[in-house]
Amino acid sequence: MSTAPAIKRQIVNGVDVSALMDTIVAIKGNPAIAKFNFRATNTWMGGDKNRSIIKDFTGALQEQRNGMQAFIADNGEPEVLLGQDEAPNPVEWLLHALIGCMTTTTAYHAASRGLDGPKSGRTR
């Protein structure tokens, strides 16, 4: 009985570079794969408080996260902006989104080139 040899995946910085390269090839063959549509809903909860619910989105030609639990993100305001300072305000969440995008993109790009990053780090 013969078994197929296991395919060795290349992992750099915790990124599956083999899958990343496969994804790039697939997108070059069908650019529609790269179209994503993220969605969120938001409910005002009184005063400075509101809550966003993030769940399903479309991407890679299909609906994603079906049947998964939603992510919940509360927004607030600091006292100086008449809030209770119980959650980041929307601008702070925006900064989180932007720096998170930059950090992930940098890590993926470095991994695709075989560059090891620091084991842990902080970006400002």
How much is the pLDDT for 13?
85
| pLDDT string in tens for the chain (124-residue length) | 556 556 678 888 889 999 999 999 999 999 999 999 999 999 999 999 999 999 999 999 999 999 999 999 999 999 999 999 999 999 999 999 999 999 999 999 999 898 887 665 555 5
Q: Is residue 71 one of the residues assigned to a domain?
A: yes
Q: Is residue 120 one of the residues assigned to a domain?
A: no
Q: What are 11's strand-pairing partners? A: 16
Q: Is residue 37 one of the residues assigned to a domain?
A: yes
How much is the pLDDT for 10?
87
How much is the pLDDT for 56?
95
Q: Is residue 118 one of the residues assigned to a domain?
A: no
> Residue 45: which residues within 8 A CB-CB, separation 6 or more?
51
Q: Is residue 20 one of the residues assigned to a domain?
A: yes
DSSP string, the chain: ---PPPPPPPEETTEEHHHHHHHHHHHHH-GGGG--EEEEEEEEEETTEEEEEEEEEEETTEEESTTPPPEEEEE---GGGTS---S--HHHHHHHHHHHHHHHHHHHHHHHTT----SS----
Tally of domains in the chain = 1
Q: Is residue 119 one of the residues assigned to a domain?
A: no
How much is the pLDDT for 4?
56
How much is the pLDDT for 94?
97
Q: Is residue 123 one of the residues assigned to a domain?
A: no
Q: For residues 75 and 51, is the Cβ–Cβ distance under 8 A?
A: yes
